[in-house]
Structure 1
C-alpha cells in the first residue's frame, strides 16, 4: 500500500502521509493540509476524524472486538480485578504481584476524603443530581491538593495525583448516595478491599460492617472493568482536550464527568430502567412495546438494544449477561420491572426483526438491570459508570501529556454574516 494519499484541490495535487496502526487501521494525516492548500476538512461529530494516536484501547465495531492494551476484554473480565485493569490501562502492562499489592495499599491509604468536603454536601439542594455533585466534588479535589495544579508534575507527583483520584472516587460516590438518602456517611475501612469498601460505604451502616456475596462482588468488578475505557468517545475526548490546555487531572476528569452526564452518552443505562418503569406503569405488556419498537411511525425507542459502534454484537454484553443472570438468581429479587426486562430480552433475542437488524441487548441494558437489583437509585447509574470509566480517563490524560500533544483547537467553516455596519437604535 502507498504511504501517501493524493488530493486534488483547485487543480493542484497534494500528497498527504498515510498512517497505519498496529491493527492495520489506516488514516490520512491532514495536519499540514491547511498550510499547503488553505483548505480545512469538515467532519461534524468527528465520525471520521482521528484526533490522536493512542496505544490504550482497540475497538473494532464490525467484528465486536474490544481490547485494553492488547488484552481481550473477555479475558480481563474473567480473570482480572478492577484495580489490576486500572493499573494496566494507566501504566501499560499487567502488574506483577508485588507491584499490584503496593498499588492497592497506596490506594487504600488515600481513600479518606477531607472532612471539609462535607460542607459541599450541606450546600447542595436536596434534589440536586448526583452527577452534578460528582463533577463539583472531583473538581474541588484540586483545591485540597493544590500541588496538582503544577503543569510540570514529576512522575512521582503525577502518580500521587492518580492514586488520590482512584482512591477518593469510590468514597465520594458512596457519600453522594448516602447524602441523597439522608443517611450518615460510612468511612472506608483498612480491612476491606477496593470493591468491598465501596459496597460497604454504599450499603453499610456506621457501626455495622456489611458483607457481600461473592457473586455481587464479582459482578461489580466486571461492571467496572467493562466500562473502564472505550477509545475516543465523547467524555474521553473531552478529558484529553481539556487536559491539552495543561489543566490538572481533577479538572480534566470533572469535564469528562460533565460530558458523560449527557443522556446521549452516559445516561443509557438509566434510560433503560425509565423505559421499563414506563412499560410497567402502562400495564406491563412487553409484546405491545416490542410492536411499537418495530413500527416506523411510532416514536417509541427500545432503550438498551443495539450500539452505535458495535454493528454485530457488543462483546461486553455477553459477559455482563451472565453476571446479570447470576445476580438475579442469587438475590432472588422480586421486581415487576426486572420481570419485564427479562421478557423483552427473551423476545428480542428470538424475534427475527431484531435478529436481522442485530438489535441485541447491550451492556447498558444489563448494567441497568444489575444496578436496579442491587438497590441503586436510577439517577446513580451514570455516577457508577463514571467510577468505572475513571481509569480510562486517567490513562488517556496521562498518554496525552506523555506524547506532548498540542492544545486542542478545532477549526470551523464560518457561515454567518459577512462584514456589515453597526445600525443605530433609531434605524432598527
Structure 2
C-alpha cells in the first residue's frame, strides 16, 4: 500500500493505493485539525481470514488498528489544549499558570463548563448555586454508613456518586427522554422556532441542575468517605462559606470546635492544586465520561464511571509506595540502578507485579516532551507546605530522588522528568492524607473537566455513540460437545497461583492469617494426606486385580463414592488411566495446600516484622494497615492539619 499527499488551492487529500489490487482512494485532510477520517479506509476491501469467508468473493473493510489510541482522535474540543511540544497547558485559551496566579478553582470551573470567565454577578450566582447543593440527602448518608469501616474511600465515592441517579430520577434520560440534555439541532443559517427555543431553555435548565448538584455534592461525599475511614461522624457543610476548598477542609477536619475555620494558607494551596488537576485533555477518565454519555446515560452514572478510571491509575499513590520501598536516601542510587537494569523483584511493593520491572513512578509523561508545566507550581506548593508543616522522611526522599534522577544522563536522555503526579503525591502526603484518599482528591477537582467535556460531546454536530471496532483473533468455528465427552483441562489456576495473585493486605483482612485458620489448614492437610495414602493403597489393589465392577468391590471404596464416579473410574479398562490422572491431581492439591500454609506463616512473620519496624521509622503519617478492631488511620482529638480558630493574616 502506498500513500501520496496532494495539496493545492482546491484539494487537500491523501492518495492511497492498494498495490495488491491496484485500488486507489482519496482520503481528505482537514488542515484545521491535521486529521484524516478513519472511515475513509473502509473503501479498501480485503478477504476475511477470521472467520474464513464462505464465498471467495467476500470482502471486508480495512480497519485502522491503534492500541491505546496513540494516534487516534475521537472528538474536537475547545475545553483544553495540552501542548506537549512546548510544555504548556491551556484552559479555554488561558494559560493554566496565569489562572493559578490570578483566579480560584470555582471561577476556573465556571470557565471550563461555560466557556468564559464569569462576571461579578455571574460568579456570585454560580458560587451560591454550587454551595447550596453541597447538602446531601439524609438517606444517602445512611447508605454511606453501611460501608465497612475499612472500605476503600474511592470505592465509596464511586458507589455513592452512582447512587445520586436514584435520588434524582428526574435527571435520568432513560426515564425522562433521551433528549433530556440534548440541544435541538438547527441547520446553519436557520432560525430556531419558538418550540425549539423553549426546548433549548429546558435543556439548559436540566444541565444547570445537574452541574450544581455534581459540583456541590461530590466534595461532601468525598469528605464523608474520609470521615468514614477515620470512624468519625459526618460533618455538614460549612455555614455561609463561598470558598469551595475551604468548605472541603472544614467538612473533613472539624471536630467539636465552635469557631473552627481551616487555615487559609492550606486552603489556598489546595485550591491551587485543584486548578492544576481540573482538566487535562482526552485522558482515560475524561474519554470515559464522553464514552458513557454517548450512550444516553444520566450524568451521575457517567461521572461515577469516569471517577472509576481514576481509581485504576493509582499514579500518585504509587509514588508514595515507591518512596517507602526505597526507604533511605542512601539507597536511591541502588534503586535507580535497578530501574535502569529493568530488574524485577518479588514483593517489592503491594502494587507491583512480580514479573514487572521496577519503574520510576511519577517520572516521564506520554504527552509532554520537555517537562510538565504543572510541575513547577505543584513543587512550589509542596515547599510552601514544608515551611508550614515541616518535612518528613518521605519528603526528604522525594527531594533527593528528583535531584538524583535529574542529574543522571540515562534519565535525561529519555526525558524522564518528574511529572505532576510526583509532586501532587508529596503535597497530599504533607497535608497528612493517607494514600487511599489520593484518587478521591484527584476526582473532586476533575469534575470540572468531566462536566465540560460531557456537554461539549452532546453538542458536537458529529455526536454518535462510541463504538470502536475490534479484531477477532479467537477460535474460528467450534461445535458444542456434551459435558461428559469433554476432556479435563488445566485452565483453572492453581491454589498457589490464585493466592500469589491476590492482595496480601486483603488476605489479612479476610482473616486468612489468623492462627485459628492456620490450625484448620493444618488439620485439613493432615486429613488430605491420610485420605491420599488410603486411596493410593486401594488404587494399588485395583491395578493389581484389574478393573472390576463396583458391585464386586470388596475394598469398600465404591461405597464411599457416587455411582457415576465409581463406574467412570473403576468399571472400565480405560479407567486405570483416569484413576492415575485423578491421583496426580490429588497430589497436586496436597502440595498446593502445603505451600499455602507456608505462605500464611511467612505472612504472619512479615506482619510482625513490619510492626516492629513501625516503631523505629520516622513517619508522621502512620501506616494504613487494617485492624480487626479499627482502622489504623489518623485518630485522636485534633486534626492533623493546622487549625485557625479565626482567619489569620496571609503570609507574605
What is the match of residue 22 of structure 2?
Answer: 11
Q: Is the 8 A contact 1:185 1:206 kept in 2?
A: no
Shift of 1:159: 0.7
Residue 271 of structure 1 is matched in structure 2 by: 318
| Structure 2 SS opposite 1:5 | strand
Do residues 210 (structure 1) and 260 (structure 2) align?
A: yes
C-alpha distance in 2, partners of 1:309/1:109?
Answer: 38
Q: Classify 1:211/1:285 alpha carbon distance in 2 versus 1 (closer, same or farther; 3 Å).
A: farther
Shift of 1:358: 2.4
Verify the 8 A CA contact 1:177 1:202 in the aligned structure 2: yes
Partner of 1:124: 147
TM-superposed CA distance for 1:4, in Å, is 1.5
Gaps of 5+ in 1: none
1:351 maps to 408
> Following TM superposition, by how much is the alpha carbon of 1:292 offset from its aligned partner in structure 2, in angstroms?
2.6
Show the 5 A alignment for 1:363-378: 363-378=420-435
Instruction: Give the superposed CA RMSD.
Output: 1.9
Higher deviation after alignment, 239-248 or 295-304: 295-304
Q: Which residue of 1 aligns with 2:623?
A: none
Residue in 2 aligned with 1:225?
A: 275
TM-score (norm: length of structure 1): 0.93
What whole-Å deviation, never above 9, does each CA across 1:239-259 have from its counterpart, x for those lacking one? Answer: 111100111110111010111
Asked if the contact 1:320–1:367 (Cα under 8 Å) also holds between the matched residues in 2, the reply is yes
Q: 2:469 aligns with which of 398, 411, 420?
A: 411
Query: Which residue of structure 2 aligns with residue 177 of structure 1?
Result: 226
> How far did 1:20 drift?
3.2
- The aligned counterpart of 1:293 is 339
Residue 310 of structure 1 deviates from its aligned partner by 1.3
Q: Deviations over 1:227-275 (max 9, x none)?
A: 111111111111111100111110111010111111xx3x111111111
The Cα shift of 1:427 comes to 4.2
1:304-343 to 2 correspondences below 5 Å: 304-333=362-391, 335-343=392-400
1:324, 1:366 within 8 Å by CA — same for their partners in 2?
yes
Deviation at 1:283, TM superposition (A): 7.9
Give 5+ residue unaligned stretches, structure 2: 1-6, 46-60, 182-202, 345-356, 487-652
Could you say which residue in structure 2 is the equivalent of 1:159?
A: 208
Query: Structure 1 41/284 Cα, relative in aligned 2: closer, same or farther at 3 Å?
Result: same
Q: CA shift at 1:34, angstroms? A: 2.4
Deviations 1:98-142 (A, max 9, x none): 111110011111111111112222221222211111111111111
Counterpart in the other structure of 1:52: 75
CA distance in 1, matches of 2:452, 2:400: 39
Quote the Cα distance in structure 2 between the aligned partners of 1:227 and 1:272: 17
Q: CA deviation at 1:330?
A: 1.9
Q: Distance in 2 between matches of 1:164 and 1:206?
A: 28
Query: Aligned pair count?
Result: 420
Asked if the contact 2:17–2:25 (Cα under 8 Å) also holds between the matched residues in 1, the reply is yes
**Contact 2:363 2:416 survives alignment (8 Å):** yes
Aligned to 2:113: 90
Larger Rg: 2
The higher-RCO structure (CA 8 Å, 6+ apart) is 1
Question: Deviation at 1:158?
Answer: 0.8
2:130, 2:213 within 8 Å by CA — same for their partners in 1?
A: yes
Give, in whole Å, the separation in 1 of the partners of 2:154 and 2:337: 34
**Structure 2 contact 149–231 (Cα < 8 Å) conserved:** no
Q: Distance in 1 between matches of 2:335 and 2:264?
A: 35
Comparing 343-352 with 52-61, greater Cα deviation is found at: 343-352
Q: 1:180 and 1:253 mapped to 2: Cα distance?
A: 23
CA distance, structure 2, for counterparts of residue 209 and residue 279 of structure 1: 42
1:108/1:190 contact within 8 Å kept: no
1:253 counterpart residue number: 303
Question: What is the 5 A alignment of 1:111-150?
Answer: 111-150=134-173
Q: Give secondary structure in 1 for the equivalent of 2:466.
A: coil
Aligned to 1:387: 444
Q: Distance in 1 between matches of 2:408 and 2:483?
A: 65
Residue 289 of structure 2 contacts residue 450 of structure 2 at CA under 8 Å; is this kept in 1?
yes
Q: 1:66·1:72 contact (CA, 8 Å) conserved in 2? A: yes
Aligned to 1:242: 292
